Chain A
Amino acid sequence: MNDPIIQIRNLSKSYGSFRAVEGLNLDVHQGEIFGLLGPNGAGKTTTILMMLGLTEPSGGSVQVCGYQSASNPIPVKRKVGYMPDSLGFYDHMTALENLMYIARLNGFEETAGKKRALEMMEIVGLSTEKDKKTGAYSRGMKQRLGLAEVLIKKPEVIILDEPTLGIDPSGVKDFLSLIKSLSRDQGITVLLSSHHLHHVQQICDRVGIFVKGKLLAEGNIDTLSKTLFGHEGYVTSVKVAQEIPRPWPLEAELMQWEGLKKISIRDSEIEFTCTADLTAALVRFFVKEDYDVLSVSQKDYGLDEIYQKYFELEQR
């Protein structure tokens, strides 16, 4: 495999005694979509700022597209498009003027810049709104305009900080698929940060989990959750109308089932831990035994559980 396009070695940043980022090592390769996952205040934005040379690292190094970000930020910024989490535009200018300004700053000449800006607005689907003042734009439109702005410089890498923040669910879906298709079509490397596992899950090839300034794990999501929860497997919880007596006479019978490992009972709710998905069979069993099933839910491992899990592992 060729050299990674983003190479972070032993990166750390402290503000006084607070350590925002600690000993971070990370490689992102050409053309992949990498998700930086972590709760708020985990140091994601700080890491991104250091990649762009907007903040000086306290230790370690960042190399982007072959340039050191800290000592040589200008060529890095020429190749990297960055969309910050709180996106702002010059409200008194139209969207097109905003884009043209950025195009000019990136060394486009007037006509080429305008052509490029119009193309980008077409791609993100804002061409009908190009002469509207950005002050009148909605959050989702600003986000798309931000993407157009990031793309205008023909970047090799785009870094999106919380791109899904504050857009409605259908908007998120469109936005993410737009990013994905751009990355696939033009071979752009994408690094995006988020605290939403589900958003990241949809498009990322690989994710890194970032908690308290440390990268706890990296890899693709399936492997991550398998390594974490593999020994626990599937968890199904069933709620019934009747009170479950203790000891429960049926428990012994159920424990005979292949793949069922653990049963825990709390009032009228029973939780089954299995190595395979037994939800359907369990429901059939309850119905046969004349229980009134009120709800059945399969426990989903979200980001919360993953964080929690990693915290537990950290503590030990």
Chain B
Amino acid sequence: MKSSDFLFKSSASSPFTVMMRKEMADHIRSWRFIVLLILIFLTFVASMYVSLANIKSATGNAGDPDHVFLYLKLLTTTDNSIPPFHVFLSFLAPLLGISLGFDAINAEQNSGTLTRLMAQPIYRDNVLLAKFASALVLIGALFLMLALWMVGGGLLLTGVRMEPQELLRILGFVALTILYVAFWLSLSIVLSIRFRGASTSALSAIGIWLFFTVFYQIVLNLAIRSVLPDPTGLSQDQILGYNELIMDLLRIAPNQLYMDATTTMLMPSVRSLGPMTMEQMAGAIPSPLPFIDSVMVVWPQVSGLIAATVACFALSYFLFMRREIRS
């Protein structure tokens, strides 16, 4: 009881805090969140198990410029039996975002609680913001916890000292993941405002997710093959130009942005995300980049993700603020 006393000690808190607290409690108690938690946790354990089994060969490989970064290796090493953790997350994180947001508004509307909530002296945008922020706080805590577990476990098992830049990179990875989930969360909140049925909004969110993870690349490949000229008759520069174009088109998909960004974060030797010419490569020593340079490389991806998240959130505002609330 002590802890709850501490939590509730602040006298009359603002409606936003009250709503946040309630939403978080709802999430934590819901089966849905528990199932997802187990899913993410199992993924984490499986990929950690595989990477720990292979960590010795990975760090012993002197040909790899990243072999000194033990903790980054823990996150990315795999023996190809299962994908590494960050690749797993690129398709699990959307599911997390979608499942926490797909019924944010419409479930309340259908059960008749939204009208009652709206009749209280609160601002409308606070409702949206509380829904968004509460889910994000939980997800943030979850990923931060996993990352710290990994670091702690690694320390215990190997006893290797951690480089400051490794910590920064891992925190950067966590921040990117949270941002990525935030995008899917705000997208699913938009859908939950747009569609009255919770199942409709869940299905359309999953549809968008499937489209980007599976079909987008296939469709793009087909389209490119039929439109682009035969590469054998093209000059080096033209091929590069087309390559660049294809990469840019692929980067419309948020999961591509996330993959690019996390790969750069977790593999310090990645210097560019596009194709590089021989001239650019000439003279470059295959060595890890400093943290700040990696951030510079992924900055376009990060701003793309932020922009997409903000756009979805703004759309949800637009849809919700002037909407008539009746059940």
Is the pair A87, B19 in contact by a Cβ cutoff of 8 Å?
no
Question: Known: A84-B116, A87-B116. Is A109-B11 also a contact (CB below 8 A)?
Answer: yes
Chain A hits for B115, CB < 8 A: 54, 82, 84, 86, 88
Is the pair A104, B13 in contact by a Cβ cutoff of 8 Å?
yes
Chain B hits for A90, CB < 8 A: 26, 111, 113
B1-27: CB near A (< 8 Å → 1, else 0) gives 000000010011101001100100010
How far does the Cβ of B119 sit from chain A's closest Cβ, in whole Å?
Answer: 4
Instruction: Give the nearest-CB partner of B22 in chain A.
Output: A101
Is the pair A102, B111 in contact by a Cβ cutoff of 8 Å?
no
A54-91: CB near B (< 8 Å → 1, else 0) gives 11100000000000000000110110111010111111
Chain B hits for A54, CB < 8 A: 115, 118-119, 324-326
Is the pair A86, B121 in contact by a Cβ cutoff of 8 Å?
no
Contact of A106 among B113, B120, B327 (CB under 8 A): B120
Is the pair B113, A105 in contact by a Cβ cutoff of 8 Å?
no
A156 within 8 A of B: no
How far does the Cβ of B159 sit from chain A's closest Cβ, in whole Å?
Answer: 47
Chain B hits for A108, CB < 8 A: 12
Is the pair B116, A77 in contact by a Cβ cutoff of 8 Å?
no
Is the pair A106, B121 in contact by a Cβ cutoff of 8 Å?
yes
B96-113: CB near A (< 8 Å → 1, else 0) gives 000000000000000111
Is the pair B112, A86 in contact by a Cβ cutoff of 8 Å?
yes
A200 within 8 A of B: no
Is the pair B15, A105 in contact by a Cβ cutoff of 8 Å?
yes
Of residues 144 through 178 on chain A, the ones whose CB sits less than 8 Å from some CB of chain B are 146, 149, 153
The size bracket of the interface on A is 20 to 34
Is the pair A105, B19 in contact by a Cβ cutoff of 8 Å?
yes
Specify the main secondary structure of chain B where it touches its partner.
Answer: loop
Is the pair B120, A86 in contact by a Cβ cutoff of 8 Å?
no
B41 within 8 A of A: no
Is the pair B112, A84 in contact by a Cβ cutoff of 8 Å?
yes
How far does the Cβ of B108 sit from chain A's closest Cβ, in whole Å?
Answer: 8
Is the pair B326, A109 in contact by a Cβ cutoff of 8 Å?
no
B29 within 8 A of A: yes
Is the pair A77, B111 in contact by a Cβ cutoff of 8 Å?
no
Instruction: Give the nearest-CB partner of B111 in chain A.
Output: A88
Question: Known: A88-B112, A110-B8. Is A78-B121 also a contact (CB below 8 A)?
Answer: yes
A107 to B13 Cα, complex, angstroms: 7
Instruction: List 14 A–B pairs whose Cβ atoms lie within 8 Å, in order of A's numbering.
Output: A49-B324, A49-B326, A56-B322, A74-B121, A77-B120, A84-B326, A86-B115, A86-B327, A90-B26, A91-B111, A102-B120, A104-B15, A105-B19, A153-B121
Interface of B with A (CB < 8 Å)? 8, 11-13, 15, 18-19, 22, 26, 29, 111-113, 115-123, 322, 324-327
Inter-chain pairs besides A101-B22, A104-B13, 20 sampled, C-beta below 8 Å: A54-B118, A54-B326, A55-B326, A74-B121, A81-B119, A82-B116, A84-B112, A84-B115, A84-B327, A87-B112, A88-B112, A90-B113, A105-B18, A105-B19, A105-B122, A106-B120, A107-B121, A109-B11, A109-B12, A153-B120
- Top 8 A-B pairs, shortest CB-CB distance: A88-B112, A82-B119, A88-B111, A109-B11, A78-B121, A84-B115, A77-B121, A104-B18
